[in-house]
Amino acid sequence: MLDARFYTVPAETANERLDEARLYDGYVRIREGRPRNPHLLVGSERGMISEPRFEYNERTADIALQVREGKAFRLMRNTGPATLGDVDAAHLWRASVVGEMLPTGGALTVATARAAGGDLPARILLAALLALAAVAFAGFGLGASRALPATAPTPAKVAVAFLPAAGVGLVLARLTPGIPLLGQISLAVLAAFVAVVLILRAAELGKLDADLAKKAEKRKKKKADD
């Protein structure tokens, strides 16, 4: 819901979606997952959402939103018969919209392969992408664990090595609201941790680089003598 925008007229292109004249201002009452105003349109930066269905905590939504320039900034829920009460705007992430739109990222790649060659090439491509991602995150975790000092306990190295996999698992699981955000935070923490370790060990890395340069120079001299 944080990325969704409400429009009064269709906005198919990126420039149209940025046009303030197309954005909706006002209230949106949602019952049984559908807006009561059938003329409102919903979209995001990637495109318009066809047949949008609204959820709150992954259940059919019965809420109201106040919208300014297409973006929801106020959330209300039922507090009694025919009564709506304000909910802290920090809980807007619990509201989501589900519908059909153009795929992106890996889904777009697989959809393109399916359209071009059928299901079999799409499945082969998907398997290859998953294998490549698994190798990449395994290498990321291994590199992060080796960035720790040699005196670090083994459990700490193992925990750091599994941190990328944990982040990806949280993003993919989507078992409860907010899990994808936690996965992104996990990956961000890992990236920050690796950056800090590399900075702290910059002198050691510089020494290692100098040693490698000396060894390479010795090999060149040995070949020249031969």
Which tens digit of pLDDT belongs to each residue from 178-219? 555 665 676 677 677 767 766 666 666 667 767 777 888 888
Q: How many CB atoms lie within 10 A of CB 23?
A: 19
Q: What is the pLDDT of residue 107?
A: 61
Question: What local confidence, expressed as pLDDT, does residue 64 receive?
Answer: 92
* The length of the chain, given as a count of residues: 226
User: Which stretches in the chain have pLDDT values below 50?
Assistant: 176
Overall pTM surpassing 0.85 (yes/no): no
